[in-house]
Amino acid sequence: MTDPIFITCAVTGSGDTVAKSEHVPVTPQQIADNCIAAAQAGAAIVHIHVRDPETGAGARDVSLYAEAVALIRASATDVVINLTSGMGGDLTLGSVEEPLPLSEIGTDMAGASERVEHVLAIKPEITTLDCGSMNFGHGDYVMTNTPSMLAAMGEMVRDMGVRPEIEVFDTGHLWQAKSLVKAGIIEDPVMIQLCMGIPWGAPNDLNTFMAMRNNIPDDWTFSAFSIGQDQLRYVALAAIAGGNVRVGLEDNLYLTRGTLATNADLVERAVHILNGMNYKIAGPDEVRSLLKLQRR
């Protein structure tokens, strides 16, 4: 047995997955229900995006976050709430020949205060900071998080008393995370998420994963995940590497080949994998103690 491992469930994300699976939650009620089911299945943390209830597209409306979180809290379900702060950094070029003006489809750029407006209003225990910019997927889309933007958002989150989860998609992002910690913008205990296999960040091969894992300071707490068919494989890999795990429909829609999953299904499978490896599963209070979270 080793130290307890906590499971994060990323329940919906903002990608174009709604048409691919009927299980992807869209409305605040559906998102809350999925978070509750994930917690009951063994997730200590739920990572929440919201979507436009009419179109299913990713959104950052404060009222949608507030409704989903209020429903979870009203249920008396004990789970650590982690709200994304990744929305508002979406930039899509006009075309390869005429990059400007930017495409209105897929571009949503907001200032630092606006990007964390929902965090200030709701006060979750954790919020994510995407630590860096990168070509993300295909086409002309760029995930945009400049150093000055990250510093400003990090300072705001710190002053709110909310723990940042630093999402790292490549080696340079880890370098930047260390600079934010050194500058005092992100305080101890430091929490980091290795996001593997996302085009065109760090590939999810073992050598790349271990290079990133081996460059995480010993006193930081880390989780790791990969996408698609590798999500459940990374449950075992992250645990063996000394980390925590993340599953959920944001990153993977299938339980097995051809069988669509629910969030609870994926958490249950992660619990099964970890139990089979003789790991203890951490609950929400153990996570709060480890990360010194301010319970709301």
Q: Mind listing the pLDDT tens digit for each residue in 55-105?
A: 999 999 999 999 999 999 999 899 999 999 999 999 999 999 999 999 998
Q: What pLDDT is recorded for position 265?
A: 98
- Which of 199, 203, 208 has the alpha carbon at shortest distance from 143? 199
- Percent above pLDDT 90 for the chain: 95
Question: Which residues, at least 6 apart from 82, have a Cβ–Cβ distance to it below 8 Å?
Answer: 8, 45, 46, 47, 48, 124, 125, 126, 127, 128, 165
| pLDDT for the residue numbered 33 | 98
- Phi first, then psi, for residue 187 (nearest 5°) are -100, 160
Cα(247)–Cα(11) distance, integer angstroms: 8
Beta bridge partners of 259: 256
User: Which CATH code fits 7-291?
Assistant: 3.20.20.70
pLDDT in tens, 99-141: 999 999 889 999 999 999 999 999 999 999 999 899 988 899 9
Global pTM reads: 0.95
Q: What is the mean pLDDT of the chain?
A: 95
In terms of Cα–Cα distance, which of 5, 4, 3 is closest to 247?
Answer: 5
pLDDT (average), residues 40-59: 97
- Predicted local distance difference test score (pLDDT) of residue 2: 57
Phi-psi region of 49 (alpha: psi -120 to 50; beta: other; left: phi over 0): beta
Task: Please state, in angstroms and rounded to a whole number, the distance separating the CA atoms of residues 166 and 199.
Answer: 19
Nearest to 14 by CA among 124, 130, 99, 119: 130
Contacts of 189 (CB under 8 A, 6+ apart): 163, 219, 220, 221, 290, 291, 292
Question: Any idea what DSSP says for residue 101?
Answer: S
What is the arithmetic mean of pLDDT over 23-34? Answer: 98
**Nearest Cα residue to 194 out of 220, 170, 214, 162:** 170
Query: Is it the case that residue 219 has pLDDT exceeding 80?
Result: yes
3-state secondary structure of 272: helix
Going by pLDDT thresholds of 50, 70 and 90, the confidence category of residue 1 is very low
